[in-house]
Amino acid sequence: MSDHRMSDRRAFGVHAVLVAASLAMVVPFVWQVVTSLKTLSDATRVPPTFLPEGRWDNYAKVFDLLPFGEQFVNTVVMAAGRVVGQVLFCSMAAYAFARLRFPGRNVLFGVFLSVLMVPPQLFVIPQYQIMSSLGWLNSLQAIIVPGLFSAFGVFLLRQFFLGLPRELEEAARLDGAGPVRIYWSIMLPLARPGLVALSVLVLLWAWNDLFWPLVVNTDPEKMTLSAGLASLQGQYQTDYPVLMAGSLIASLPVIAVFVFLQRQFIQGIAHTGSKG
């Protein structure tokens, strides 16, 4: 074991490289915070000032320029809807594919997987037309409903269910439990780590999604934060302190969730890697 421990000099070198890289990752965010607390004229001073100035009115201004409160609620509802929908629907399908026997199971699973291979841009025009014909443009349904279904979620959870022991199910079946009972009271509790990993990924993707919300909801009141932010930038190209304040509040909620659920996030990401 002793040869695995690093000499102090080597350890110092490794830390020096890692600290430099970490600074490259973090300094832009620090600069974002500093800029968001300056007046425009101070932000555009050469050479720059490095201390924040406590100009909180940039944050208030974001709410004046955009219906930011509504957009925040839209984003929360969209993300929550997609998470709940995918956890429920994907786990149901994943359980069936992992444990129940029915004719055509493998073919159907192959069809589900084929969706994963298609670049998502191919869905957009027809999805837009469906929304338009339902009268759902500029609505919450438009940004939630297509996101309730996911081939990726089914695939991820099926792998998870396949790894679970069968004994508990067998015992429950001998006691006369049907598939619904087994799914709900045995499989779901056992699969909790998998469900959490999926939830965290869906939350991240939903919160940060731009293309689809940008296309279907063009009314500022119905936009999500990412689309709203993009439109704010479209109008106020150069008011950087306000743009930095807006981008900070928009991205902070997911960053906060990440800090609290770091282990689950990282496991979720590592799971996406294990499909290879």
Partner 1 sequence: MTTTAGSRAVRAARVEKARRPRAEALWGYAFIAPTGLGLAIFYLWPVLQTAYFSFTEWGAFGGHTWTGLDNYTRLLGDPEVGRAVLNTLTYTALGLVGIPLAIVFAALLNRPGLRGVSVYRTAFFLPVVTMPVAVAMLWRWLYNGDYGLVNQVLATVGIDGPNWIADPATAMYALVVVGIWSSIGYNLIIFLAGMQAIPKELYEAASLDGAGRVRQFFSITLPMLSPTAFFVSIVSVIGSLQLFDLVFVMTGSGQSARANPAYGRLQTVVQLFYERAFVTNDRGYAAAIVIALLVLIAGLTILQFRLQRRWVHYV
Contact status, residue 225 vs residue 39, Cβ threshold 8 Å? no
| Distance (Å, whole) CA 273 – CA 210 | 24
Both tokens of 135, joined, read 């009268």
Of 37 and 254, which has the nearer Cβ to partner 1? 254
User: Using CB under 8 A, which residues numbered 66 to 125 contact partner 1?
Assistant: 88-90, 92-93, 95-97, 100-103, 105, 108, 111-112, 114-115, 118-125
As a dihedral over the C-alpha atoms of residue 262, residue 266, residue 268, residue 273, rounded to 10 degrees, the angle is 170
Helix (H, G, I), strand (E, B) or coil at 264: helix
Q: Which of 43, 78, 87, 186 binds partner 1 (CB under 8 A)?
A: 43
Closest distance to partner 1 from the beta carbon of 167 (Å): 19
* Sole window of 55-63, 135-143, 162-170, 206-214 interacting with partner 1 (rule: CB under 8 A): 206-214
> Which of 94, 96, 230, 236 has its CA nearest to residue 153?
94
DSSP 3-state helix, strand, coil percentages of the chain (rounded to 5)?
80, 0, 20
By CB under 8 A, the residues from 185 to 204 that bind partner 1 are: 204
- Least CB distance from residue 227 to partner 1, whole Å? 8
Q: Smallest distance from the beta carbon of 168 to partner 1, in angstroms?
A: 18
Of the two residues 32 and 138, which places its CB atom closer to partner 1 in the complex? 32
CB 169 within 8 A of CB 182: yes
Closer residue to partner 1 in complex, CB, 56/272: 272
Least distance (Å) from partner 1 to the CB of residue 54? 20
Secondary structure in 3-state letters for 83-109: HHHHHHHHHHHHHHHHHCCCCCHHHHH
Residue 49 contacts partner 1 per CB under 8 A: no
One-letter amino acid for residue 192 of the chain: R
**Least Cβ distance, residue 32 to partner 1 (angstroms):** 5
Q: Is 53 helix (H, G, I), strand (E, B) or coil?
A: coil
Of residues 60 and 210, the one with the C-beta less far from partner 1:
210
From the list 39, 48, 64, 73, which residue makes contact with partner 1 (rule: CB under 8 A)? Answer: 48
Q: How far is the CB of 56 from partner 1 (least distance, A)?
A: 19
Which 137-156 positions form the footprint of partner 1 (CB under 8 A)?
145-146, 148-151, 154
Question: Please, how many CA atoms are within 13 Å of residue 59, restricted to the half-sphere of its CB?
Answer: 11
Q: How far is the CB of 226 from partner 1 (least distance, A)?
A: 5
Of 211-270, binders to partner 1 (CB under 8 A) are 211, 215, 225-226, 229-231, 233-235, 237, 240, 243-244, 247-248, 250-251, 254-255, 258-259, 262, 265-266, 269-270
Inter-CA distances, 184 with 21, 81, 92, 163, Å: 46, 20, 9, 17
Q: How far is the CB of 184 from partner 1 (least distance, A)?
A: 11
- In sequence order, which residues have a C-beta less than 8 Å from that of residue 270 and are 6 or more positions away? none
**Residue 12 backbone dihedrals phi, psi, to 5 degrees:** -60, -45
